[in-house]
A and B are shown apart, each in its own frame.
Chain A
Amino acid sequence: MSNHAAIDVIVSEVVEVNSLIKRFHFKRRDGGHLPAFSGGAHIVIEMQDGEQLRRTPYSLMSSPLDTSDYQCSIRRDDEGRGGSLYMHREVKPGMAMKISPPANLFALDLRARKHLMIAGGIGITPFLAQSSQLERTGGEYELHYGVRSAQLGAYLDVLQERLQHRLHTYYDDQQQSIDFDELLSTQPAGTHLYVCGPTPMIDKVLNTARGAGWPESHIHFEHFAKASPGEPFTAELSASGVTVEVGREQSLLEAIEAAGIEAPYLCRGGACGQCETRVLDCDGELLHEDHWLEDDERSAGEKIMPCVSRFKGKRLVLER
């Protein structure tokens, strides 16, 4: 880790939740408690996949009140760069791994009079932790959870028991969908909105909320852009005086790290802004995939978020 000491953990349990999702439990190797966290926090898991070192962020879903272990539920993504496939195929109980300390970019605003949570699919994981937290601390909340089917809806039973009438479920295979216009126009003043799920759902919720007059400070979303595979390219790092080759399945940040260069990061999902890097020369096109840079910064072409964004062209020089 560049900014924080990694934590040595043992995989204590791997549970198959359904045909697509596995839950991984991590305990400290030295037997102590893990760092405290708040609902909505994520960790970055280090995976030594052959030659390649991957670092991928996953939300913590276990209760923030229990730091004897951390739990992450990971959906297998057959189209991704391989992080989730590695976790599903290679990670077994007893394995030693390294994780980052938790960081939270999706925290509850505890000044809220009510928390309105909207989840799609595997986007449920931060809400599992947040609902555990609110059950203990108190606070009004409700959760709207869209799933493909009863079989693929992870943790429906846990949530049903925990939330009861505050849980609203929507099944795709029964043609049920959340009426965002209705939901977002009937909330009491002082409500904070939280959304996590597939990109089209997040975009729809954000657009509806903004259109209905919700102030930005009441809107929270967890949007880990996934570093997508892409065409290989070359980047020159001016401060380090090296040139790195970025492979098809590799992110620019991973290539920089593989060259032994310390680069800052926190979320590795284009959301937190930590890895922002200045572009000194660019003969080609920056392929921005983050949620951090503003539109004018993108068009200026002077910055790139190496955790998710790529490059296509002749020459790219970074101040790193």
Chain B
Amino acid sequence: MSTVQYADFKSRPFYGVLKPASAVAHLIVAEGEGAQAVMDLIAKAPADFASKATLLYAEGPYVSENSRSQALRELGFARFHTSATAAAAVPRLHGALDRLRMGTEVYLTGNESALSLFVKACTEAGLDYQGLQTEHRGSLARRMQCVHCKGITEDVTTQPAECAHCGLLLLVRDHYSRRIGAFQGVNINAEDPSDVPPKEEIFR
């Protein structure tokens, strides 16, 4: 499993480890390998935890290989919904947030892209990101916004990376926008487009 390297960069999101809170209700949103973080959370929690919790699980890109949904279903959540991808889980998350009351603990886990989408949905519902629990599991592939054309490119694993919209070669920065839910990509060879630095796969 990939581990997040925290650079000394203020806006780069920091993830922790999910811990059961003594709240009246819980909302858990997980993607892909985040299933294991949910299992670990349940193992640490009191027996009645799942009966007070809603779980939205996005199976991730490799649904056919994924037998995690069944294991999660057996944990006895009060409400349990699956979707194919993190992006597909977002509308349901918006719906859950509309009905949520203050005091419900929110737990988010999954790969870096999924966490970006989930945190963004929560902040759009007026929740401060500092009140959310997050845990990174799985890929470090990034959502990247091109600062030139503003297009969002998903699943960026290389440094530098091409903007899927305007085609510019971008330096993928740790500079992160919570409002947009994406890392910022800045043209790496503006002075001389023929100077193409080698690509390395670093966000795995």
Contact = CB atoms under 8 A, between A and B. Distances in A.
A217 B24 CA distance: 19
Contacts of A186: 101
A213 B126 contact: no
Interface residues of A, number: 22
B128 A215 contact: yes
Nearest to B22: A213
A189 interface: yes
With most chain A CB atoms within 10 A of its CB, the pick from B23, B24, B125, B127 is: B127
Contact of A187 (B23, B97, B102, B123): B102
Interface in A202-256: 212-218
Nearest to B97: A189
B100 interface: yes
Contacts of B23: 213
A57 B65 CA distance: 64
B125 A218 contact: no
B128 A214 contact: no
Interface in B142-173: none
A309 interface: no
Contacts of B98: 188
A184 B23 CA distance: 13
A80 interface: no
Contacts of B130: 215-217
B59 interface: no
A189 B126 contact: yes
Secondary structure dominating the interface of A: loop
Nearest to A188: B101
A89 interface: no
Contacts of B97: 189-190
B96 to A, nearest CB: 9
B105 interface: yes
Contact of A213 (B24, B125, B127, B128): B24
Interface of B: 21-24, 97-98, 100-105, 123, 125-128, 130-131
Contacts of B125: 113, 189-190
B128 A111 contact: yes
With most chain A CB atoms within 10 A of its CB, the pick from B21, B97, B126 is: B126
Secondary structure dominating the interface of B: loop
A109 B103 CA distance: 18
A187 to B, nearest CB: 4
A196 to B, nearest CB: 19
A178 interface: no
A23 interface: no
A185 interface: yes
A144 interface: no
A188 B102 contact: yes
Contacts of B103: 184-185, 187, 212-214
Nearest to A190: B126
Contacts of B105: 213
A112 B128 CA distance: 8
Nearest to B27: A189
Given A213-B21, A213-B24, A189 B128 contact: no
A186 B97 CA distance: 14
B101 A185 contact: yes
A111 B126 contact: yes
A218 B101 contact: no
Contacts of A109: 128
A191 B102 CA distance: 7
A214 B126 contact: no
Q: Which 3 A-B pairs have the closest CB atoms?
A: A190-B126, A215-B131, A113-B126
Nearest to B129: A217
A218 B130 CA distance: 9
Nearest to A214: B102
A218 B131 contact: yes
B188 to A, nearest CB: 33
9 contacts: A114-B126, A184-B102, A189-B125, A190-B126, A193-B102, A213-B105, A216-B131, A217-B131, A218-B127
Interface in A153-197: 184-193
B3 to A, nearest CB: 26
B104 A213 contact: yes
Nearest to B96: A189
Contact of B126 (A112, A184, A193, A216): A112
A41 B25 CA distance: 35
Contacts of A188: 98, 100-102
Contact of B101 (A189, A215, A216): A189
